[in-house]
Structure 1
Amino acid sequence: MRRSVLLPGGLLLGLLVALPVAGPLAGGDPLRVVAAPWSPPRPGLPWGADVLGRDVLARVLAGGTGPVTTAMAAALLATAIGTAGGLWVGWTGGRRARAVTALSDLLVAVPLLLLVLVAAVTLPGPAAVVVGTVVGGAPLTVRVVADATARARTAGHVEAALVHGERPVAVLLREVLPAHAPLVAADLAGRAVLALQLAAATSVLGFGPPPPAPDWAVMLRENLPGLTVNPAAVLAPAVALGAVATVLAVVSLRLVPARTGTTRVPGGPVPPGPGLTVRGLRVLDPDGRVVLDGPDLDAHPGEVVAVVGSSGSGKTTLLHAVLGTLPGGLRAVSGGVGWDGAPLPRGRRWRRRTLGLLGQDPALHPLRDARAQLPVPDPDAALRAVGLDPAAVGGLRPDRLSGGQARRVALARALAGDPALLVLDEPTAGLDPAATAVVVGLLRARGGVTLVVTHDPAVAAVADRVVRVGAPAPPPAPAGPPPSGAGTPPSPAAVPVLDARHVTTAVPGAAADVDVPVRPGGLTVVTGPSGCGKTTLLRALAGVRPVTGGTLALAGAATPWPVGDRTPGVVALVGQHPVHELNPARTAGAAVARPLRRLHGLPAAVARAEAVRLLGAVGLPPDVAGRRPAALSGGQRQRVALARALAVRPAVLLADEPTSALDAATTAAVLDLLDAARADGLAVLATTHDRALVERADHVVDLVDLTAPVPTPSPRPRGTPRCAPNPPPTRPTPGSRASPGART
């Protein structure tokens, strides 16, 4: 949490502690008459006297305890009830949850002040404030937390925890709630502001503490007639109320998760010339360590400049530094960025007119369909330009799109209006070869400046210049002895450790009637065009996606589909999107250590040491264990998620595009690590578009894209397995793990 949040929060806490004792320490008795009514300030009486001749300073110092304490108690209770209700509503759904949501909407419509005044007729003033804040504030918290929880339920770190055997209550408390802690804390501060206002209003209207107890709001009401005689008697309590409310409001605003803002880049020398010019960007983290020592680059109109480098070398940081959108804590200390011979503009108007951006996360609006995401007159044409069928995906919201489809919708948005500067971060990650070819064709036809970060050789090949970030690093060595040769294929007679038959999911358009066998030590990969249902199938096998048909056996035993009915620890899951795979509130080391403690009972110190070892096994240095996801690159997050899955020590590893964010060297090292684990009996089922992963497979399931016509000479009979019958990949060398005829 930032220092700018802790400072006002600490001041407020200090105020709460100091108020009850401040009056006596100041030498004043808030109840004793010391002067004539409304006496002006004088020596020994710096703020004068009130309506009864009591010391105004002493009464102000003592008068905040009641309203502030009442406000904080009311806010804590309202936020606690609202958060618990929101977690339940967002997690469970269903009729009961909808009924609670409807009741919340009804209560929100009730005027708060009227509700408090009605309660004050039968209850003491502070109790009425608590009731009003809870009844009027908790429903808003329910809605906010429920929406956040519903979105978080499909996050990779939440689904992985469920698959690894965590119970829903533990997942809510350890994964969902910590991820939304800033949101809940901001809600608490906002409720406290509301409760303080209600406490002041009830006291002003005569429902506050009875005389002669000091109270800021009561002081306002009592001393208003003497405003012209001694203004301090009215202004002092008013300023005190306003100061506390302001501090609470500042805390609330500072705690709300904010988007990345614009950061200043030092004005280094920018040579004249058309297009984009970058010179000597150097970026430091909060501890002063160098995150990026960027190369110089020039990108002229009509050119594509590719930025390459190993995972974690600072490629994405370079893009953020160029655009002036460095995440919090990072700062550019030297260098310059120019556009057409002048410093790169930072205004929103220039960005809207000139810039097209695709980040690592597509970041689509969750409530808009694919067409509504595109600010162009003809969104269908824009979708077709990136290889999407408008009739199939145009009306779908992001949660119904596959990862590749969502990325292409975001690319179409970035290309809208043919921007003069197009900045792309891994535009082909998770795309099949056909979709990648479409993206490459779009880049080749560009007339403006294009700056693209990529691991994809096809994208780098179309670039006019390739700029490397960071020194080439040797590939990380896997833990344990490396596999020899091509590895030992599983015995065909071995009983599959995962045997799924005739699987049909509840998602329209996904592949149906699919058979997926995975034998001990084997590697089965699922391939197919983007959007054909690979991720849906994998999540169904993990137990977090509804299934309408089919059977599942794990380790030879019939297994129910819902994850909550399974034996923990048999299956581990690595999801598709690195940005959602890790809990933003947990360090990488804590994420990996959790399964070791939860499933295997390791002591905390032993689990931490083993977590560091597993992170090293996937090629990450020890210091990564202490970093949170925001300080990691996409490839580093992907490898942390893999280490977390390996910490489960599962019989079957389900991995969705496990190499999509990795460079070639790191990909090879990670695949060698998996081969070493397979030699010990681990079975791996992965979805992929990566040829390097497919070539190591023993078995390939190639799903047909059901949104396109199936290339068969006659109509496809109902119930026919929807899997393409192409042969599995083979190697020209003996010992290939691909076995001819191994087909689903």
Structure 2
Amino acid sequence: MRVRWTIAAAAVGAALFGAAVAPHDPSVSVGAPWAPPSPGLPLGTDSAGRDVLSRLLAGGRTITATALAGAAAASVLGVLGGLATGWAGRRTARWARAGTDLLLALPFLLVALVLAAALPAPAAVIAATVCGGAPLGARMIGDLVRHARRAGYVEAARGRGEGSAAIAVREVLPSLAGAVPADAIARFVLALQLAAAFGTLGLGTDPATPDWGASLRENLPGAALNPWALAAPAAALTTVALTTAAAAAAPAPARRRRRPAPPDATALPREAGLVVDGLTVVDADGRTIVDGAELHAAPGEVVAIVGPSGGGKTTTVRAALDVLAPGLHRTAGVVTWHGRAVRPGRAARRLRRAAAGLLDQDPAATLNPLMTVSALVLEGPRRTPAAARARLAALGLDADALWHRRPGELSGGQAQRVALARTLLGDPELLVLDEPTSGLDPDALDLVAAAIERRRGDGRSVTLVISHDAAFVARVADRVVRIGPAPPAPREEPEPEAGAHDDARPVLDVRGLRAGHGTDVLLDGVSLTLHPGELVAVAGPSGSGKSTLLRALAGLHPASAGTLLLDGRPVPWPVGARDLGALRGVQFAAQSPATALNPAHRVRTAVARPLRRLHPARSREEIRTRVAELLADVGLAPDLADRRPGELSGGQRQRVAIARALAAAPAVLLADEITSALDPASAADLLHLLDRLRRDGTAVLLVTHDPAVAARADRVLRLAGRRLARTENEPHAR
């Protein structure tokens, strides 16, 4: 990727400053018109006897500078317009979209010609690029911003009290770091082509001024006498356009030199199913992520892949399918499917297209937020509405109720099952399920297990299940493969003395909370008290409103009724209306590790932000030290502080999000399925951390479907029928 940008910068730099090395004055005649190449004139002369090489070196300055100015203007206006419309309400966004649609409906070439007739050529190029490019950029950036507004890292910024402008600059813009340069380069290529077209039509600069577009028009009649006079400026234009466009293109998977394969590497025994032998994956810095992984799954078999969080389970499977995340590279190993070698590139694409179905670790993040459930599940060949509805029903979903909803209107468990239904509808021969049960209630988990068990023993289907849920693995798997080091035994820690705080004034007191999505009321008249040091677990079926409850308490979801008291003080429901004390007092750790962290920020930055915002008296050195302590508290190595989310596993991202929430030193921690992506040892260590915090008085309201986690709570409440109620088998406060 860096090489592409270097080549593009060199091409643009040569176009801008090439005149400095021109061997002749580009405006002075040095020979007969259209003279062929000769000593001293390596490209011959043009229509006026001027040196073609000198005209070539000097002819890119004006056209390139104009294109850069047009691209900058169009991109800046597009980004600003996209931020404004993406952040605005639905009504404003609709009017803005109507305006951009109107501009895009105008014939671009006609607008450009009208501008060329009314303005000087450079101004016309800039104005036309803005008219044609800014609306497209605003539409693209607006859609990305609307999606980012629902991301966990934006909600975390709102939860620490940052305003809209700060969030747009510090969180949203960096997350668009890949889209904005790509949009700018697209506008640059458009402006370059437009400036060249104006020059070719005689609408460009003074004929005496070197210009690649004008050179095309002037030298076309003499192409037979000296083809270089025509070919040189055309090649220059093409080179600048292609190198800049290539710089913004998605990088092809980097190929490292492979280790020499054994003589029979491509003639392995024709063993049916998937075979992975000696697979090794490294990151961009050369660190080994997976070292010599081995895996075999036969037709009709369900193979579970287990191991510690961050141990390489997901990376191994994605490397076998050649869908590694950017920065990761497969350097060794052989993958075969039914005895045929599957090499990275075309063979792996053919396998994915013909036989594979992949359910990612955070499937909700893979659902297009602009598509309805019906469009999502019907996307693909040989799918019918009847089959789609039946599959949704088999996973415990009301197809009629969800059919026209978008992913943002689904609970985490509902979105997970919609993604699973979408994957299963293709009936893939090779099915890969990455943590398919995280965040599901027991009833939904039973339905997922039944869907997997229907594939077992059919003599055709190969199923890989990556999971930390030991009970689920024992239930569905024929064999278990461990990848990564064996996890350490969970540390034994004393039980928290939560009962010592029972007589204290409630730290959190909720009365008559009412909230929902539009006309769909999920919480009605909910009341809850939480004492210092208390752990209260909230259970209930998927879609019942558990996450909505936590988000409303965090100020991230609107409440239509009710009161909220923190340490006896009234607290407004919207997070934007809360003071610094209320922001510090209540912090939220969300369910989805995929969107919890800003992809543009390093771990150190993500954890340091709330420290700077909510504890402004801390020095830079104190913040750096505290970041290291927080990462250690959640079981992460210090070197992870310099990594970005794309370089972390799902469990590691989830622990970083918890460290970020704990950075505020909250009196109340709202935790939504925070152990769902963790292996048992990491989950136990995290629960021990919560126990230590509780001994210091921190109260925890925890949403969970895990009975083992709920068993550690002082109280267990079940959310059903819009109300919270104690469970009959509720554990007593210790």
TM-score normalised to the size of structure 1? 0.90
Residue equivalent to 1:567:
579
Q: How does 1:569-584 map to 2 (within 5 A)?
A: 569-584=584-599
Shift, 1:262, TM fit:
14
Whether 2:471 is the aligned partner of 1:473: answer no
Shift, 1:485, TM fit:
2.5
Whether 2:377 is the aligned partner of 1:374: answer yes
Shift, 1:299, TM fit:
2.1
Whether 2:423 is the aligned partner of 1:407: answer no
User: Residues 389 and 99 from structure 1, CA distance in 2 versus in 1: closer, same or farther, beyond 3 angstroms?
Assistant: closer
Residue equivalent to 2:119:
123
Contact 2:359–2:434 (Cα < 8 Å) also in 1: yes
Matched AA of 1:374:
V
SS at 1:43 equivalent? coil
Deviates more, 1:304-313 or 1:348-357: 348-357
Q: How does 1:135-284 map to 2 (within 5 A)?
A: 135-254=131-250, 267=265, 270-284=268-282
Shift, 1:414, TM fit:
2.3
Residue equivalent to 1:10:
9
Residue equivalent to 1:496:
506
Give the distance between the partners of 1:116 and 1:61, measured in 2 at CA: 27
Whether 2:641 is the aligned partner of 1:642: answer no
Matched AA of 1:593:
A
Whether 2:483 is the aligned partner of 1:484: answer no
Whether 2:65 is the aligned partner of 1:69: answer yes
SS at 1:201 equivalent? helix
Residue equivalent to 1:455:
468
Write the deviation string for residues 544-586 of structure 1: whole angstroms up to 9, x where unpaired.
2122222222232222222111123332221111110011111
Give the distance between the partners of 1:665 and 1:291, measured in 2 at CA: 20
Give the distance between the partners of 2:253 and 2:423, measured in 1 at CA: 18
Contact 1:295–1:467 (Cα < 8 Å) also in 2: no
Residue equivalent to 1:557:
569
Shift, 1:663, TM fit:
1.2
Residue equivalent to 1:430:
439
Whether 2:702 is the aligned partner of 1:676: answer no
Matched AA of 2:472:
V
Shift, 1:454, TM fit:
0.6
User: Residues 636 and 268 from structure 1, CA distance in 2 versus in 1: closer, same or farther, beyond 3 angstroms?
Assistant: farther
Matched AA of 1:532:
S
User: Aligned residues, how many?
Assistant: 708
Matched AA of 1:273:
E
Deviates more, 1:127-136 or 1:565-574: 565-574
Deviates more, 1:303-312 or 1:220-229: 220-229
SS at 1:580 equivalent? coil
User: Residues 532 and 253 from structure 1, CA distance in 2 versus in 1: closer, same or farther, beyond 3 angstroms?
Assistant: same
Q: Could you tell me which of 499, 524, 529 is aligned with 2:536?
A: 524
Residue equivalent to 1:386:
395
Give the distance between the partners of 1:536 and 1:276, measured in 2 at CA: 41
Matched AA of 2:723:
R
Deviates more, 1:195-204 or 1:630-639: 195-204
Matched AA of 1:90:
G
Q: How does 1:534-683 map to 2 (within 5 A)?
A: 534-568=546-580, 569-601=584-616, 602-683=618-699
Residue equivalent to 1:718:
none
Matched AA of 1:473:
P
User: Residues 607 and 112 from structure 1, CA distance in 2 versus in 1: closer, same or farther, beyond 3 angstroms?
Assistant: same
Give the distance between the partners of 1:293 and 1:40, measured in 2 at CA: 61
Contact 1:48–1:233 (Cα < 8 Å) also in 2: yes
Matched AA of 1:287:
D
Deviates more, 1:31-40 or 1:193-202: 31-40
Shift, 1:391, TM fit:
2.5
Shift, 1:263, TM fit:
13
Matched AA of 2:7:
P
User: Residues 29 and 200 from structure 1, CA distance in 2 versus in 1: closer, same or farther, beyond 3 angstroms?
Assistant: same
Give the distance between the partners of 1:260 and 1:146, measured in 2 at CA: 31
Contact 2:515–2:552 (Cα < 8 Å) also in 1: yes
Give the distance between the partners of 1:300 and 1:42, measured in 2 at CA: 70
Shift, 1:189, TM fit:
0.2
Shift, 1:310, TM fit:
1.0
Write the deviation string for residues 425-445 of structure 1: whole angstroms up to 9, x where unpaired.
111011111111222222233
CA-based RMSD of the aligned residues comes to 2.4
Contact 1:694–1:729 (Cα < 8 Å) also in 2: no
User: Which structure 1 segments of 5+ residues have no match?
Assistant: 707-720, 738-744
Shift, 1:490, TM fit:
5.5
Whether 2:55 is the aligned partner of 1:55: answer no
Shift, 1:124, TM fit:
1.4
SS at 1:279 equivalent? strand
Give the distance between the partners of 1:314 and 1:190, measured in 2 at CA: 37
Shift, 1:336, TM fit:
2.1
Contact 1:366–1:399 (Cα < 8 Å) also in 2: yes
Give the distance between the partners of 1:165 and 1:391, measured in 2 at CA: 39
SS at 2:79 equivalent? helix
Q: How does 1:357-368 map to 2 (within 5 A)?
A: 357-362=358-363, 363-368=366-371
Write the deviation string for residues 400-456 of structure 1: whole angstroms up to 9, x where unpaired.
111111111222222225433221111101111111122222223323222111111
User: Residues 627 and 288 from structure 1, CA distance in 2 versus in 1: closer, same or farther, beyond 3 angstroms?
Assistant: same
User: Residues 139 and 168 from structure 1, CA distance in 2 versus in 1: closer, same or farther, beyond 3 angstroms?
Assistant: same
Residue equivalent to 2:355:
354
Contact 2:321–2:348 (Cα < 8 Å) also in 1: no
User: Residues 168 and 672 from structure 1, CA distance in 2 versus in 1: closer, same or farther, beyond 3 angstroms?
Assistant: same
Give the distance between the partners of 1:391 and 1:264, measured in 2 at CA: 52
Write the deviation string for residues 632-677 of structure 1: whole angstroms up to 9, x where unpaired.
1000000000011111222222221111101111111111111111
SS at 2:178 equivalent? helix
SS at 1:515 equivalent? strand
Shift, 1:469, TM fit:
1.2
Deviates more, 1:654-663 or 1:518-527: 518-527
Instruction: Give percent identity, aligned residues only.
Output: 50
SS at 1:240 equivalent? helix
Matched AA of 2:181:
A
Give the distance between the partners of 1:325 and 1:650, measured in 2 at CA: 39
User: Residues 58 and 330 from structure 1, CA distance in 2 versus in 1: closer, same or farther, beyond 3 angstroms?
Assistant: same
Give the distance between the partners of 1:96 and 1:30, measured in 2 at CA: 53
Residue equivalent to 1:339:
337
User: Residues 174 and 260 from structure 1, CA distance in 2 versus in 1: closer, same or farther, beyond 3 angstroms?
Assistant: farther
User: Which structure 2 segments of 5+ residues have no match?
Assistant: none
Shift, 1:487, TM fit:
2.5
Contact 1:590–1:608 (Cα < 8 Å) also in 2: no
Q: Could you tell me which of 59, 67, 83 is aligned with 2:79?
A: 83
User: Residues 632 and 20 from structure 1, CA distance in 2 versus in 1: closer, same or farther, beyond 3 angstroms?
Assistant: same
Give the distance between the partners of 1:505 and 1:693, measured in 2 at CA: 26
Whether 2:405 is the aligned partner of 1:396: answer yes
Shift, 1:323, TM fit:
1.8
Contact 2:16–2:60 (Cα < 8 Å) also in 1: no
Write the deviation string for residues 386-407 of structure 1: whole angstroms up to 9, x where unpaired.
2222233233221111111111
TM-score normalised to the size of structure 2? 0.91
Matched AA of 2:538:
V
Contact 1:587–1:629 (Cα < 8 Å) also in 2: yes
Give the distance between the partners of 1:531 and 1:217, measured in 2 at CA: 61
Write the deviation string for residues 598-652 of structure 1: whole angstroms up to 9, x where unpaired.
2223344432332122111100111111111111100000000001111122222
